[in-house]
Amino acid sequence: MQSTSHNFKDNARRAIADPNIQAAMAKMKVGFTGKRLAAAARLPEFEALRDAARDIKNHSLANLDFYLERYEDKVKETGGHVHWAPTAEDARKAILDICRRVDAKTVTKGKSMISEEIALNDHLEQAGIKVVETDLGEYIIQLRKEPPSHIIAPAVHVSKEQVEADFRAQHQHLPAGRSLSEPTDLVNEARQILRQRYLDADVGITGANFLIAETGTSIIVTNEGNGDLTQSLPRVHIVIASIEKVVPNLEDASTILRVLARSATGQEFSAYTTLSTGPRRPEDPDGPEEYHVILLDNGRSSMLGSEFQDMLRCIRCGACMNHCPVYHAVGGHSYGWVYPGPMGSVLTPNLIGVEEAGHLPNASTFCGRCESVCPVRIPLPKMMRHWREREFERHLTPKSVRGGLGIWAFLARRPALYQRLTGLGIGVLGILGRRRGRFKSLPFAGGWTKYRDLPAPQGKTFQQLWAKQQKTRSTTK
Amino acid sequence: MTSAREQILGAVKQSLKRNGPNATNLETCEQRLSDPEAGLIPERSRLPHPAQIDLMEAMLIELSATVQRVSSDNQVPDAVVDYLKTRNLPQEIRLAPSMDLLDLPWDGHSLLKTSSGPAREPDQVSVTGAFAGVAETGTLMLHSGPEGPTTLNFLPENHIVVLRTSQVVGAYEEGWARLRKVFGNGVMPRTVNMISGPSRTGDIEQKIELGAHGPRRLHVIVIEDGDSAA
Ligand code: SF4
């Protein structure tokens, strides 16, 4: 998908003025956070499991070459095919080749962020293949021709009235007078429409939450069951996964699964956790005849061994965005590409470049909530800081910011001058603001005073107050 | 030209600054594949077997599934027919082609139509066995094979699962151990489904709705056949 990350500021301004997005965000920020908290409280081992999940991912990444090779061996052993894709283009090509070979007319898809990352739908559609998203949220945004705004709740920004309007516009063969005002009606209608699509499809494409080296298995975690219908009815099942999804064994996956749903939706376990290994066996009464796995790198191998390696632990639970005050304010689309929120602010510059996505790591208050809820304890704020440093080193930071930082650095190295100047400034502001106690506008501080008043300082700096207090202490002792 | 495979593995090795064998500690890694060890298992499910069965039932109910216990195999058809009647469902079921299920005394119910095999589109009710029940979260483990078509677990609107108390275990890891006993180490059937309640979605304004694409209802008939058969 075409990125608009460089337009983050404009995107954000528009989102803040959009009442639909604001209403949706107000709802999501209480829903997800409360449920996660309750689920965590119910499992005394939750924090220890987060440590264990982090350690498993670290071990897997430190030995990624080993586990990838062993995983591949196992997939082949069970009759599946592995396609290595260094870039998004390689992945798209591999998938289209398979579809062409089996003469696919229709493809159904389970939810996959990797598919968004490589912009698969457009590519297949341009080749004349009909692509049907089957996850309800993905189906809704496909109708709306929008990208997802959240990694686990792609249509979280859409109201039920909007969904109703979309369904009426798209499902014209259904009676116009039908009731569609409740979510139940909408879910039932989507169910009815998609049912036939599953049965018609030639190829089913899913993502993967995990790849298991021990057995050559791919795992998907869903609630709707759409992924299962997608992968068990058509003749061909294609899995798209990025290389960092591999973990050693089933026990390791179980440990991570224990923190995944709890962090994501606050469920104890998602409704469907499905393990797929190879194509159907000769004696199986159903299942796909072909099983393919696309292993995508697309920049991940160069994150290994860098200060961004920890980001590869991400299990795409969405907790960081569910808890992010910036995400709550601007919604997912403002981030301008596939991955929003704190994880996107770290990952996106890695995948599409800091020149394009440099605003994202700056869109943080460094409040630290993302790191405090991340099930695999990714130090997200620290990594956003790494990006800011890199930007600065590469002179990508705007002139005004560089200038400001330069002046500050000059002063910070000269404490006496710093104290004199700040003392003077605060003193003057204190006198000027004495009458009203606040400023409605101030030169050089328009960005602040445009939205709120600046309280007038009391006339002394912290350092001055501190020095005075120390002095009185030592005299009263 | 290097292949895509070598390109990726080469880049991974380079980033990991690897110039020897492809693991930091080959032995540990090998062992993790050949002899997987359980990690931290929550205390919640470490209970005497009867209490695990109670936990399984309680968790299933929490997940909006329904549960009925029966004391022998022969009572299963009665339980199925009762279930269909109380939900106003047609007296027609699609059975998993397993001897355990096919051999049950279905003929006692002359109005009940039975057939077996993979699910077909208008099938409304499926009846399948299970491989295990994981008490920890009320999760059913089913796997594909000649006796277990996967489509039965997803296509019909109503899924009835026959679970034996001897199949109930505490944690997922115990399920894997049983699976390895049947299939061998490192070997898996094509599909293992871990099912925790009926299909659901929260994709429209985060309101949870049951029956998004998979079954709207999940009913578990528990046969009390005694203790752990492991
Ligand atoms: S960074 Fe952590 S919290 Fe965010 S999606 Fe990834 S695993 Fe979840």
Q: Which tens digit of pLDDT belongs to each residue from A223-257?
A: 999 999 999 999 999 999 999 999 999 999 999 99
State the smallest CA–CA distance between residue B98 and chain A in angstroms. Answer: 12
Rounded mean pLDDT, A5-23: 92
Look up the domain containing A324 and give its range: 1-42+318-397
**A176 & A119 share domain:** yes
SS3 A453: coil
Task: Kindly state whether residue A167 falls inside one of the protein's structural domains.
Answer: yes
What percent helix, strand, coil does chain B show, rounded to 5? 35, 25, 45
**A253 & A274 share domain:** yes
Q: Is the pLDDT of residue B228 over 60?
A: no
Query: A167: how many CB neighbours lie within 10 A of its CB?
Result: 21
DSSP assignments along A162-231, one per residue: HHHHHHHHH-TTS-TT----SHHHHHHHHHHHHHHHHHH-SEEEE--SEEETTTTEEEEEESSSHHHHHH
Q: How many CA atoms lie within 13 A of B216 on its CB side?
A: 11
Ligand 1 site residues (CB inside 6 A) read: A 314-320, 343, 374-376, 378
pTM above 0.90, yes or no: yes
**A38 & A55 share domain:** no
**A141 & A206 share domain:** yes
Domain boundary residue, one of A340, A368, A397? A397
**A130 & A19 share domain:** no
pLDDT, residue A219, reads 98
**A23 & A56 share domain:** no
User: What letters, b where the CB count within 10 A reaches 16 and e where it falls short, cover A127-137?
Assistant: eebebbbbbbb
| pLDDT class of A477 with cuts at 50, 70, 90 | low
Instruction: At A196, list the tokens.
Output: 């036939």
DSSP assignments along A357-398, one per residue: HTTGGGS-----HHHHH-TT---HHHHHHHHHHHHHHTT-S-
State the smallest CA–CA distance between residue A50 and chain B in angstroms. Answer: 10
B173 CB near a chain A CB, below 8 Å? yes
Give the count of domains, chain A: 3
* Partners of residue B101 in chain A, C-beta under 8 Å: none
Within B40-174, strands assigned E span 66-70, 92-95, 113-116, 125-128, 132-134, 139-143, 158-164, 168-169
Between the CA of A268 and the centroid of ligand 1 the distance, in Å, is: 17
| Sequence-distant (≥ 6) Cβ neighbours of residue A333 within 8 angstroms | A11, A15, A21, A146, A147, A149, A157, A340
Q: What is the pLDDT of residues B81-116, one digit of tens each?
A: 999 999 999 999 999 999 999 999 999 999 999 999
B102 CB near a chain A CB, below 8 Å? no
User: Which residue's entry shows tokens 């639970």?
Assistant: A317
Nearest atom within ligand 1 for CA of residue A343: 1
For an interface test with A, give the residue of B137, B158, B191 to mutate (most A CBs within 10 A). Answer: B191
B22 CB near a chain A CB, below 8 Å? yes
Q: Is the pLDDT of residue A63 over 70?
A: yes
Long-range contacts: B39-42, Cβ < 8 Å, 24+? B39/A52, B39/A56, B39/A251, B39/A252, B39/A254, B39/A255, B40/A45, B40/A48, B40/A49, B40/A52, B40/A255, B41/B170, B41/B171, B41/B173, B42/A43, B42/A44, B42/A45, B42/A49, B42/A258, B42/B136, B42/B171
Nearest atom within ligand 1 for CA of residue A315: 7
> Which sign does the torsion angle of CA A409, A415, A421, A424 carry?
positive
CB contact under 8 A, A265 and B202: yes
Residues above pLDDT 90, as percent of chain A: 76
- This model of the complex carries an ipTM of 0.96
State the smallest CA–CA distance between residue B86 and chain A in angstroms. Answer: 22
Task: Kindly state whether residue A256 falls inside one of the protein's structural domains.
Answer: yes
Q: What is the pLDDT of residues A294-348, one digit of tens each?
A: 999 999 999 999 999 999 999 999 999 999 999 999 999 999 999 999 999 999 9
Output the CA angle A464-A465-A471, nearest 5 degrees.
Answer: 90
Q: Is the pLDDT of residue B199 over 70?
A: yes
SS3 A1: coil
**A37 & A133 share domain:** no
What CATH number is attached to the domain comprising A273?
A: 3.40.50.10420
A193 CB near a chain B CB, below 8 Å? no
Q: What is the pLDDT of residues A343-389, one digit of tens each?
A: 999 999 999 998 899 899 998 889 999 999 999 999 999 999 999 98
Enumerate the β-bridge partners of residue B192: A275, B143
State the smallest CA–CA distance between residue A262 and chain B in angstroms. Answer: 12
**A98 & A131 share domain:** yes
Between the CA of A166 and the centroid of ligand 1 the distance, in Å, is: 31
Length of chain B: 230
CB contact under 8 A, B213 and A225: yes
Q: Quote the mean pLDDT of chain A.
A: 93
Nearest atom within ligand 1 for CA of residue A346: 1
Task: Kindly state whether residue A78 falls inside one of the protein's structural domains.
Answer: yes
Residue of the CA atom closest to atom 2 of ligand 1 = A374
What gap in Å lies between CA A221 and CA A219, rounded to an integer?
7
Residue of B nearest to A160 (CA): B204
**A27 & A68 share domain:** no
**Phi and psi at residue B162, in whole multiples of 5°?**
-100, 115
For the domain spanning B49-223, the CATH number is: 3.40.50.10420
Classify residue A6 as exposed, middle or buried by CB count within 10 Å of its CB (0-12, 13-18, 19+): middle
Strand ranges of the sheet holding B217-223, from the earlier edge strand across to the other edge? B66-70, B217-223, B158-164, B125-128, B92-95, B113-116
CB contact under 8 A, A69 and B15: no
**A33 & A61 share domain:** no
Q: Is the pLDDT of residue A424 over 60?
A: yes
Domain boundary residue, one of A397, A431, A450? A397
Q: Is the pLDDT of residue B229 over 60?
A: no
Between the CA of A219 and the centroid of ligand 1 the distance, in Å, is: 18
Residue of the CA atom closest to atom 6 of ligand 1 = A314
**A279 & A357 share domain:** no
CB contact under 8 A, B137 and A194: no
Q: Is the pLDDT of residue B230 over 70?
A: no
Looking at per-residue pLDDT, the higher value among B176 and A406 belongs to B176
Domain ranges of chain B: 1-37, 49-223
Between the CA of A263 and the centroid of ligand 1 the distance, in Å, is: 9
**A27 & A63 share domain:** no
CB contact under 8 A, B97 and A304: no
Lowest mean pLDDT among A35-49, A104-118, A348-362, B178-192: A348-362
Query: A30: how many CB neighbours lie within 10 A of its CB?
Result: 11
Between the CA of A346 and the centroid of ligand 1 the distance, in Å, is: 11
pLDDT, residue B1, reads 59
| pLDDT class of A415 with cuts at 50, 70, 90 | confident
Enumerate the β-bridge partners of residue A83: A294
User: What letters, b where the CB count within 10 A reaches 16 and e where it falls short, cover B61-94?
Assistant: eebebbbbebeebebbbebbbebbeeeeeeeebb
A68 CB near a chain B CB, below 8 Å? yes
What gap in Å lies between CA B45 and CA B24, rounded to an integer?
35
Of A79, A80, A279, A209, which Cα lies nearest the Cα of B150? A279
| pLDDT class of B19 with cuts at 50, 70, 90 | confident
CB contact under 8 A, B39 and A251: yes
Q: What is the biggest distance separating any 2 CA atoms in chain B, rounded to whole angstroms?
A: 72
CB contact under 8 A, A63 and B187: no
CB contact under 8 A, A155 and B211: no
Q: Is the pLDDT of residue A209 over 60?
A: yes
First to last CA, chain B: 53
Q: Give residue A408's region: left, alpha or beta (phi > 0; psi -120 to 50).
A: alpha
A183 CB near a chain B CB, below 8 Å? yes
